[in-house]
Amino acid sequence: MRKNTLLFISLLLLISEFSWSQSFYAPRRDRDLLISVGSGATKFYGDIVNPNEFGKARLNINIGAEYFLTRRISARTDLTWFQLAGDDALANSDRVERNLSFFSNNIEWNLTGAIQLIPNGGKFYQRPRINFYGFGGIGLLYFNPKTRYNGETVALQPLQTEGVKYSRFQFVIPVGIGVKYKVNPWFNIAIEGCYRETFTDYLDDISSRRYADPAILSSPLAVALSDRRKERDPDYPLDFTRGVRGNPENQDAYFMITGKVQYYIPWKFANSKKLYRSKRKSYYNQPKRGLFGGKSNRPKRR
C-alpha cells in the first residue's frame, strides 16, 4: 500500500512538472523582465587615498530589474547599498601627518541602458550561453561621511569642517561592463564592474586646499575634526595656514565590482494578443469528415 502511494505521488509530480514545462515554453509565457540580487566590493577614489589608487574595499549589496526593449538593448534600474572608507594612517606619503579618516554607508539608485555583444534569440531561453555587455546612465546618491573621535562616531557634514555647506544628495554617472552566464532557462549569473563619476568632492568631507580658519567654524568639535594633526603628534606646531588639506581640482569617485544572480519572471510589457486574434489556418476551415470519409453532420466551429 505504501509503495503504491509513493508511486502515485511520484506520478502526480511528474505530470505536474511536464504540464508546467509545457506552459513555461508556451508563447504566451514569454519573459522579457529580469530581477536580480547581488553583492560585491566597492572602492573609493578621492583625497584620502594615495594618488591613482583606490581606498579600502568595502561591502555592497544590490537589487535590480532589467527589461529587454530589443534582442540586444535593455533598460535597467538598480538600488545599491554600499560602504566607503579612507584613512590617512594607510597613506604612503606625507598625508600621514594630516591624520584624517572617514567611513560612510551610502545608497545609490540609478537608471541605465545596456547593450549586449550578442543578441538574444527569439525566445528568452534561446539567449547565448555566455554574453558580454556594457551599460551607462545616471544615478542619485545619498552619502553621509562620518569619523571616530574619542571613541564615538561623529557625522561630519553637519559640522562643516571646511566652512563649506554641501548636500548629501548628489548625481552620479555610472559606466560599466559585465559578463553573464546562462545557468538554465530561468537563471543567469553575472559579474559587473562599474565606475561612478560624481559631481562632488565631499564624499570624504575633504576638498579645500587649505585648512579652515577656526574662527569661522561652528563649534569646538568642528575645530577639532577640521585639523587633526596634533592628535598624531602632540608637538606639532598647529597653524591652519600651513599644510595642504585637500585637492579641489578632482571630484571624488568610486568603483564597484558586483556578482549577481538574475531570474526571468513570467511577465511581458505590453503583451501582444496576436496569438488570440490571428487568422485561422486554412486547414482549420476544412469540412469535418465522418467515420467512413463522408462529411460530418456536426456544425462548423465559429
- 47-67 mean pLDDT: 85
**Rounded to two decimals, what is the model's pTM?**
0.78
115 and 134 Cβ atoms separated by less than 8 Å: yes
Helix, strand and coil percent figures for the chain, each rounded to 5:
20, 40, 40
CA pair distance 300, 293, nearest whole angstrom: 17
Nearest to 135, CA basis, from 169, 176, 95: 176
Q: Which residue has the cell 562643516?
A: 160
Instruction: Note the pLDDT of residue 4.
Output: 52
- 284-293 mean pLDDT: 45
CA pair distance 260, 37, nearest whole angstrom: 6
Instruction: Note the pLDDT of residue 162.
Output: 96
Q: Report which residue type is found at 70.
A: T
Q: Is residue 270 packed enough to be buried (19+ CB in 10 Å), middle (13-18) or exposed (0-12)?
A: exposed
Q: Which cell goes with 163? A: 566652512
- pLDDT confidence tier of residue 101, bands split at 50, 70 and 90: very high
- pLDDT confidence tier of residue 51, bands split at 50, 70 and 90: low
- pLDDT confidence tier of residue 7, bands split at 50, 70 and 90: low
CA-CA-CA-CA torsion for 285, 289, 295, 297, nearest 10 degrees? -90
- 13-28 mean pLDDT: 46
- 30-51 mean pLDDT: 89
CATH 2.40.160.20 fits 31-269, yes or no: yes
Q: Report which residue type is found at 268.
A: K
| Confidence check: pLDDT of 125 > 80 | yes
- What are the pLDDT digits (tens) for 213-260? 999 999 999 999 999 999 988 888 888 999 999 999 989 999 999 999
Instruction: Note the pLDDT of residue 105.
Output: 97
Instruction: Note the pLDDT of residue 281.
Output: 44
- What are the pLDDT digits (tens) for 148-182? 999 999 999 999 999 999 999 999 999 999 999 99
Q: Residue 153: helix, strand or coil by DSSP?
A: strand
Residues belonging to the chain: 302
Q: Report which residue type is found at 21.
A: S
Instruction: Note the pLDDT of residue 52.
Output: 63
What share of the chain in percent tops pLDDT 70?
76
Domain parsing of the chain, residue ranges:
31-269
Write the DSSP symbol of residue 295.
Answer: B
